[in-house]
Amino acid sequence: AVNSSGGARRTSLVTGANTGIGRVTATELARRGDRVILACRSEAKTRPVIREIVAETGNEAVEFLPLDLGDLKSARRAADSLNERGNPIDVLVANAGLAGQRGQTRQGFELAFGTNHMGHFAFVTGVLDLLRAGTDSRLVVVSSDAHYDAKGIDLGRVRGRTRTVTGLREYATSKLANVLFAQEVARRVPDEELWVGAVHPGVIATDVWRGVPRPARPALRKVLKMKPPAEGATTSLTCATSDVWADRSGGYFSENEPKDPSPVATPELAARLWDYSQEWLAGA
């Protein structure tokens, strides 16, 4: 298969691709001629988006993969189905996430940590061999500048229900986990096999905020100076498609510029988080 520019067709996968930044990212990758997999929880909400992407880009190689990041078994099933097919993945954008919600995941993790970190940990590590087999492979982990607000990760307290009223402290912790995860993958996989980056898209008006009460949303958008999703996808797309930061694998990129992550994001904490995550996944 060839893409619109005459090269071999690449396979790109975007989690949470039926709304917001993920949808824009998937659309632009399809426009580039990639075979694009939309890994999302709801098939009913994703099918119409796939039809719109196909109509908008003329690329019919767009498909749905069921993935519920709040359930580690679902993440494993999604990875297994891709491994059974055996097709290399050239770009994986770990985009899905939630903020400002409270609760816990199916396996009992705090909702933000369990969904934003553990779900992606299970899925991405499950398809790591397919990524390593890709051509000029990229892993883009969508984090947030909110990770600077986290003082660290208390690995003994990431199970159980959300403790704060807003859930934003837990969100910050989950986004720090995203940065640490990207750093650790970059340390474990040689640069020539996989380029890895964690990104802050900017403060974007997307479904990540769907837990915030509807009447409060306009005020929140104004206070946080939220930008539209089309602008938010820029950094993810640069990391997924450009060589501008080829020598910065494992780096953090904020609003399309390289940036130092939180000083809390140390190799030691990244390694501990990885080990704990593997143990939790094995016991799930």
Question: What would the pLDDT profile of 119-165 be if each residue is shown by its tens digit?
Answer: 999 999 999 999 999 999 999 999 999 999 999 999 999 999 999 99
Burial (0-12, 13-18, 19+ Cβ within 10 Å), 99 = buried
pLDDT at 205 (0 to 100): 54
CA pair distance 27, 36, nearest whole angstrom: 9
Higher pLDDT among residues 27 and 4, named by residue: 27
Average pLDDT over residues 62-91: 98
CA pair distance 93, 11, nearest whole angstrom: 11
Average pLDDT over residues 91-104: 95
Strands 91-94 and 62-66: unpaired
Average pLDDT over residues 109-124: 98
pTM: 0.90
pLDDT at 159 (0 to 100): 96
**Averaged pLDDT score across all residues of the chain:** 91
Average pLDDT over residues 104-128: 98
How much of the chain, in percent, has pLDDT values that exceed 70? 88
Confidence band for 224, pLDDT divided at 50, 70 and 90: low
Which residues have a catalytic role annotated? Answer: 171
pLDDT at 43 (0 to 100): 98
Burial (0-12, 13-18, 19+ Cβ within 10 Å), 47 = middle
pLDDT at 40 (0 to 100): 98
CA pair distance 206, 62, nearest whole angstrom: 22
Residue with tokens 């009223």: 165
Confidence band for 212, pLDDT divided at 50, 70 and 90: low
How much of the chain, in percent, has pLDDT values that exceed 90? 84
Does the structure show a pLDDT above 60 at 2?
no
CA pair distance 253, 12, nearest whole angstrom: 20
Of 248, 252, 138, 141, nearest to 194 (Cα)?
138
Average pLDDT over residues 206-225: 56
Confidence band for 4, pLDDT divided at 50, 70 and 90: very low
Does the structure show a pLDDT above 60 at 206?
no
Confidence band for 192, pLDDT divided at 50, 70 and 90: very high
Q: Of all helices (H) and strands (E), which one includes residue 65?
A: strand 62-66
Number of other residues whose CB lies within 10 A of the CB of residue 15: 28
Higher pLDDT among residues 207 and 145, named by residue: 145
